[in-house]
Amino acid sequence: MFVNEVNDIKIYNLSAGKSVPEWLTDRRKRSQLMKKVDSRRQIELIQDFDMPGVCTTIRMSPDQQYILATGTYKPRVKCYEVSNLSIKFERCFDSEVTTFEPISDDYSKLIFLQCDRFVEIHCASGRHYRLRIPRFGRDMKYHKPSCDLFIVGTTRDIYRLNLERGQFLQPYETDASCINTCDINPEHQLLVVGSKEGIVEAWDSRTKTCVGKLDVAIKLPGTKSFPSISAIKNKNGLQMGVGTASGHVLLYDIRSREPLLVKDHLNKVAVKRIAFNPNHHTVYSMDDAMLKLWDENTGKQVAYIESTTSFNDFCTIPETGMFFLAQEDIKMLTYYVPSMGPAPRWCSFLDNLTEEIESEVVENMYDDYQFVTQKELEELGLEHLIGSNLLKGYMHGYFVDVRLYNKAKAVADPFAFERFRKEKIRKEIESERKSRLQIKTNLPKVNQELALKLMDEQSNITKASSKGPNLLADTRFKAMFENPEFAINKGAEEYKLLVPVLNRLDKSKLKEVKRHVEVARVNELHAEEEKPHEESDNDEDLFGFEKSDDGSSAKSDGEESTDDEGIRDFAKEMKKAYKNVKRQREADENEADNDHKGGEGVKIEHEQSTQESNNQGSTKSINKQNNGSRNIKMTALEDNNFKLSEMRGKIMKISLKDRVRFNDVASANVTTIGRSLGNRQMTFDLKKKSSKDEKKREYLMKKHREERKKIIRPINALRLKKVNFK
């Protein structure tokens, strides 16, 4: 049993429990269930309350003594007797059941609408009669006063099958293209149908005419999917609920065209079924994703049940808090909500049990089997077991016996438990150990630089607007600043390549941001004592903003930088990062190659050692000469660099005019424009110093031209001969 609490309302899942793999035999299933302590305490309210494959529909008989459910595979119906809490009978069909209706108080008379256009009528002993309808059916209802069975489907006609006379009657013709659902009001016996066009029509079986139409789609403008009618349920003679394909539930009073309340499921999927709990003024509405319980007066959600698989159908037991769910799974779920009503008489012991039961966590995986992926299987060294009985293929991995898994893991990583134990001890010691001097700070223990950056961005956002997202206070990212496993690894290649892009806070700015955070904290403490206009000035001064003459704030000149300089710096950082990563990769590859070729290297070194010993005498003298020349060159280069730096500093102090004359006196030209003394114009050309590549290119071109001159013959040497044509 699993207990879930939503809005102080406890929901008991009576079908929850440890599941057993399907591929095991019945004997092994029973033996495993007996071994588990939890399974002994598990409450099995109804025995064998499941289907071989999927459960499609579920109903309660009118006398509330039998539970009827249909499912696959094979297509079948199961009947459970609540007085014995066990199955009574089971029957199979030729095709799947779309929906069914009990037309007697117990299970003795049943009508099944099948997906192949057949309608089967069953009695207590079995199938009584089978007939076929002209079009595919989607829903049907039985009208007791006239003994008519109304069938709707992919046609505009409402088929009428009279069970007393045993023949079809003249169908009702609607204005719709097809009809999805229908329902009969229990008080005034009006037939209500919902069409694909979002229109609800009411038909009177006495006059055989349409007595009213209600346009539901016009009340839901702006929906992405068209609000076709997918579910209808009458509460009493005046009120009804309408579910649409867009995920809305509308409550109507049949005397008005305006809805009393519109409830949005917010799942954007069709509402499949609606039910009412009149004693507590609650509405049950179900779609594929969840079943919602909400107040019919305010629309406020009371409780909800989420699905692990798609929900197909549900049924409630009147005047109780129990209901059953049919889903795309083997199990049929049983839920009990004490706040919605007491337990039924046949399981009144639940009221006493629910007071003593506490919440329990139900695991989805099997206890005796461990799920492993292909990669984990290779790491454990068990890939050779693929295809054997020890591995059971499931989705993208395999199920393996947990005992075999533990042994293989112990062999693959024998010190895993020791590391876990030491880490646990270290955490306990750190939690108990406290320093005498405790400095209160807002910075977390993990990823402090990232936290500083987020604080800085948050302060800028709050200055620009009144509200902004605070990622440090968000519980979704709480572990990122508490768990050391989420610490940023600065030695990884990905981090090194992303540093130029993501590093908005340099080392030079960290101290400044820390100071800003501390000052902002002090400013918040004294915020109540200061005036509003003074607070705004302090905030602007805090983050380096200066007030201009027109009242607008701007950053100080010392913090401004041009876009070109930022782009240049970014490009340099990117090149440097890629070079470092490339160099690191090459070093790692060389180390790997050296380790791989270690055995061969020993032989080569042994052979080369003799040659090196012979050449040592000659290399020593050469090295001495090279070292002496290298030292002379280094001292000369240092002197030249020092002189160049002095000259560059002197040139930068000279004015532009003198600098131009210093570079090239002949290139500067000063002219006077007009008669006034101040109108002067200066034009000059700066000769760029050619680089080594340009000099080399010029030298090669010059050499090429000289070679061509030597090869080319002069034109004067050529003489034309006169040719006479006779």
Name every residue whose Cβ is closer than 8 Å to that of residue 650 and which is 6 or more positions away in sequence: none
pLDDT digits (tens, 9 = 90+) for 162-186: 998 988 999 999 988 899 999 999 8
Angle at 31 between CA 28 and CA 35, to 5 degrees: 135
pLDDT digits (tens, 9 = 90+) for 25-54: 666 666 665 555 455 556 678 888 888 889
**What single DSSP character describes residue 715?**
G
**Four-residue CA torsion sign, 662, 666, 667, 673:** positive
Helix (H) or strand (E) holding 371: strand 369-373
Distance of CA 435 to the CA centre of its chain: 41
pLDDT digits (tens, 9 = 90+) for 359-406: 443 444 455 778 888 888 888 888 888 888 888 888 788 888 888 888
What is the rounded radius of gyration, in angstroms, for the C-alpha atoms of the chain? 44
Mean of pLDDT over the chain? 75
Name every residue whose Cβ is closer than 8 Å to that of residue 511 and which is 6 or more positions away in sequence: none
pLDDT band at 221 (very low <50, low <70, confident <90, very high): confident
What would the two tokens of residue 207 be?
């006059």
- What is the rounded distance in angstroms from the CA atom of residue 89 to the CA atom of residue 40? 27
By C-alpha distance, which of 585, 587, 590, 588 is closest to 497?
A: 585
- What is the rounded distance in angstroms from the CA atom of residue 76 to the CA atom of residue 93? 6
Strand-pairing partners, residue 111, are: 101, 121
- What is the rounded distance in angstroms from the CA atom of residue 240 to the CA atom of residue 233? 6
pLDDT digits (tens, 9 = 90+) for 683-715: 655 555 667 788 888 888 888 888 888 887 666
Is the pLDDT higher at 532 or at 433? 433
Is the pLDDT higher at 297 or at 32? 297
- What is the rounded distance in angstroms from the CA atom of residue 549 to the CA atom of residue 629? 66
Is the pLDDT higher at 633 or at 390? 390
**What single DSSP character describes residue 188?**
T
pLDDT digits (tens, 9 = 90+) for 648-660: 666 666 666 666 5
Angle at 529 between CA 523 and CA 532, to 5 degrees: 80
Q: Of 76-90, 199-213, 224-238, 566-580, which range is least confident? A: 566-580
% of the chain beyond a pLDDT of 90: 25
Integer distance in angstroms from the first to the last C-alpha of the chain?
125
Q: Of 412-421, 484-493, 539-548, which range is least confident? A: 539-548
